[in-house]
Structure 1
Amino acid sequence: MEDVSQQISSFCTLIKLKRFDDHTLRTLQVILESKDGRLLPQLRKRLKEFLRSESLIAIRQIANKPIGHVLSVLDFFVRAFAIVSDVESCLVLRYEALVMRDSKSISYLDLRVSCTEWLKFAQDAFDNGFYSITSKACENALLPFDVKGGARGDNLLENGAIMNKIQILRDIAIRLSATHAGMLVICLVLLSMRDYLVFCTIQVQVSDYMKQKDLCLKQSSSCNRAHYPASISFRNGIKQRNVRNLLHLQNLRRG
Structure 2
Amino acid sequence: MSGSTSEAIALFRSQLQSRRFDDRTLGTLESVLVTRNVQSLIETRAALRELLRSEASSVMGGVSVMTVDEKLRIVQFFVGAFALVGDIESCLALKYEALILRESKYLQFDGLQVTYEEWLTFANDSIDNGFFPIAIQGIEKALQCIQINKLKGPEFAMSSVEEHIVDYIKNLKNITISLIEKNSVRVQSSEYMKRKDIQKQASISRSRKANQIASSVFRSAIEKRNMQKLQRSQGLQENW
Do both share a fold (TM > 0.5)? yes
1:61 is displaced (CA, Å) by: 2.3
How far 1:193 sits from its partner (Å)? 4.4
Amino acid at match of 1:34: T
**Rounded Cα–Cα distance in structure 2 between residues aligned with 1:81 and 1:116:** 23
Question: Conserved in 1, the CA contact under 8 Å of 2:139 and 2:169?
Answer: yes
Q: d(CA) in 1 for partners of 2:25 and 2:199? A: 44
- The one of 138, 155, 164 equivalent to 2:167 is 164
- Number of the residue aligned with 2:119: 118
How many pairs align? 197
**Residue 24 of structure 2 is aligned to residue 8 of structure 1:** no
1:141 aligns with 2:142: yes
Q: 1:183 matched to which residue of 2?
A: 186
How far off its partner does 1:41 sit?
0.3
Q: Distance in 1 between matches of 2:115 and 2:155?
A: 12
1:48 aligns with 2:49: yes
Partner residue in 2 for 1:101: 102
Per mean C-alpha deviation after superposition, the further-off stretch among 74-83 and 56-65 is 56-65
Q: CA deviation at 1:145?
A: 2.2
Residue identity in the other structure for 1:135: I
**TM value normalised by structure 2:** 0.71
1:154 positional shift: 8.6
> Aligned AA for 2:114?
V
Q: What corresponds to 2:176 in structure 1? A: 173
Cα offset, 1:144, TM superposition: 2.2
- Structure number with higher relative contact order (C-alpha < 8 Å, ≥ 6 residues apart): 1
Alpha-carbon distance in 1 for matches of 2:200, 2:82? 33
Gaps of 5+ in 2: 202-240
Amino acid in structure 1 at the alignment position of 2:13: C
1:72 is matched with: 73
Answer yes or no: is the 8 Å Cα contact 2:5–2:32 preserved in 1.
yes
Corresponding letter in the other structure for 1:44:
R
- With 146-155 and 76-85 compared, the bigger mean Cα shift is at 146-155
1:88 partnered with 2:89: yes
SS in 1 for 2:145: coil
Equivalent position of 1:26 in the other structure = 27
Q: 1:182 to 1:194 in 2, by over 3 A?
A: closer
Computed over aligned residues only, the root mean square deviation of the Cα atoms, in angstroms, reads 3.1
Give the SS at the match of 1:184: helix
TM-score normalized by structure 1? 0.67
| Structure 1 residues without counterparts, runs of 5 or longer | 199-255
C-alpha separation in 2, matches of 1:162 and 1:196: 51
Aligned equivalent of 2:216: none
Q: Max radius of gyration: which structure?
A: 2
Aligned-pair distance for 1:75?
Answer: 0.2
> What is the CA–CA distance in structure 2 between the aligned matches of 1:26 and 1:130, rounded to whole Å?
28
The residue type equivalent to 2:42 in the other structure is P
Which residue identity is paired with 2:165? I
- Per-residue deviation at 1:148? 11
Contact 2:82/2:91 (<8 A) preserved: yes
Q: Distance in 2 between matches of 1:78 and 1:148?
A: 29
For the Cα contact (< 8 Å) 2:150–2:157, is it kept in 1?
no
Q: Share of identical aligned residues, percent?
A: 32
Q: Which moved more, 1:164-173 or 1:104-113?
A: 104-113
CA deviation vs aligned residue, 1:53-107 (integer Å, no higher than 9, x gap): 0011111122210001001000000000000001011011111222233344445
More helix by percentage? 2
CA contact (8 A) 1:188 1:196 kept: no
Look up the equivalent residue of 1:182 and give its one-letter code. Answer: V
